[in-house]
Amino acid sequence: MGFSTDAIHAGQKPDPVTGAVITPIYQTSTYAQEELGKHKGYEYGRTHNLTRQSLEANIAALEKGKYGIAFASGLAATQALMSLVKSGDHIIVSKNVYGGTYRLFELIMKDYGLDFSWIDTSVPENIENSIRNSTKLVYLETPTNPMLTLTDLAAASDICKKHNLISVVDNTFMSPYLQNPLLLDCDVVLHSSTKYINGHSDVIGGIIVTSNDKVHERIRYIQNAIGAVPSPFDCWLILRSTKTLAVRMERHVQNAMELAKFLDDSNLAEKVYYPGLTSHPQHELAKKQMRGFGGMISADFGDTEKAKKLLRNVKIFTLGESLGGVESLISHPASMTHASVPKVERERLGITDSLIRFSVGIEDIEDLISDINNALNG
């Protein structure tokens, strides 16, 4: 099936009782059992929920995987993946990832005896050179938040297969519409479904997709045993949202391309980071492994006061954390999403105090461009 057909139908059959076309919100904590040991396969809400199962099947289809496992947030999904390793194991991570992922690994999971190497995975050989006897998992984010650096997923998954390592890809910035890591032989895909998948800035959620039976079995067990499950209503909202994912992404990509070109051509910014620009060092790789360049742009304005002026004066862009919603957001990674990364490390990554991140929404592009122009020149 094509992407939009799956988005609208996968995991969703009309309700057998009433024929309701839309999957109901099964807002229940428990289920009536007929007699001891006899029930309909549904025992308790944390373990089984049909709205959640529909969402999981839907996203699994969009990511070309066998299994989806939904969580209450993207970070809860990342934390669940840590159950694939144990104390003493070593994990290789893209050196630039979402600040919350950095915080989870460095400030929390490290205390449980896990060892993390933060490396530049945009050079695949760096992955191979960092492998130790204790290495178990490679955690990639591509494009990265907020520097939009890419990792060659085919090359990375090759290395992981050769060394028997689990490859995980945070695909949040692309959404399943623009990139499918499982098709490039990676083992696990993770999304903060808070972002493009839901797309309406009204849900916090996360999801893991895999075709690996053993990974699925473990993560499914953890979903129930640790219990960071999403509510039936949140699952229903996300299911509603995936129906329009394709059309939303088309518009995000179109608007971001125009805004990136404007920022670049107008010389308003000193440096523009967007994989769709031919000046992006990995533009060719982007064309190869992605089906569009995404809706996220970062730009360095070279001067903190200029960056602050922009953040203060925008009227359509909203200053706020998060991304991937229909409305445009603007943020300051150094003090917001990546505040928990030490300043020296931030500077090394390019997350300067004058770096601004744009989540380009699906409004009229002329209005978005005028908003930036007026904020800086008005």
Q: Is 14 exposed, middle or buried (0-12, 13-18, 19+ CB in 10 A)?
A: exposed
98 in active site:
yes
Which of 23, 135, 167, 192 forms a contact with ligand P1T (CB under 6 A)?
Answer: 192
Q: Which of 52, 136, 195, 248 is catalytic?
A: 195
Active site residue 251: no
Q: Is 220 a catalytic residue?
A: no
Contacts within 8 Å (CB) and 24+ apart, 85-90: 85/114, 85/136, 85/137, 86/113, 87/112, 87/113, 87/114, 88/113, 88/115, 88/134, 89/114, 89/115, 89/134, 89/135, 89/136, 89/137, 90/114, 90/115, 90/116, 90/117, 90/132, 90/134, 90/135, 90/136
In the complex, minimum distance from the CB of residue 159 to ligand P1T, in angstroms, rounded to a whole number:
22
Nearest to 160 by CA among 148, 151, 168: 168
Is position 199 an interface residue for ligand P1T (rule: CB under 6 A)? no
Distance CA 140, CA 7 (A): 25
Q: HSE of 348 in the Cβ direction (CA atoms, 13 Å)? A: 10
Q: How far is the CB of 155 from ligand P1T (least distance, A)?
A: 21
Stretch that binds ligand P1T, among 69-77, 209-217, 237-245, 249-257 (CB under 6 A): 69-77
299: helix, coil or strand?
strand
Burial class (CB in 10 A: 0-12, 13-18, 19+), 92: buried
Residues from 331 through 350 that contact ligand P1T (CB under 6 A): 337
Taking the least distance from each CB to ligand P1T, the nearer of 12 and 56 is 56
Mark residues 233-272: x for contact with ligand P1T by CB under 6 A, - for none. ----------------------------------------
Q: How far is the CB of 232 from ligand P1T (least distance, A)?
A: 18
CB of 214 to ligand P1T, least distance (A): 24
Q: Which residues face 167 on adjacent strands?
A: 138
Q: Minimum distance from CB of 109 to ligand P1T (Å)?
A: 15
Task: Based on the shown chain and the rule CB under 6 A, indicate whether residue 322 belongs to the binding site for ligand P1T.
Answer: yes
Segment 84 to 143, residues that bind ligand P1T, using CB under 6 A: 98, 100-101, 141
3 DSSP 8-state letter: H
Minimum CB separation of residue 378 from ligand P1T in Å reads 26
Instruction: Please give the structure tokens belonging to residue 23.
Output: 């999957």
**Which lies closer to ligand P1T via its Cβ, residue 199 or residue 206?**
206
170 belongs to the catalytic site? yes
Length of the chain: 378
Catalytic residues: 46, 98, 170, 195
Binding site residues, ligand P1T, CB under 6 A: 73-75, 98, 100-101, 141, 145, 170, 172-173, 192, 194, 204, 206, 321-323, 337
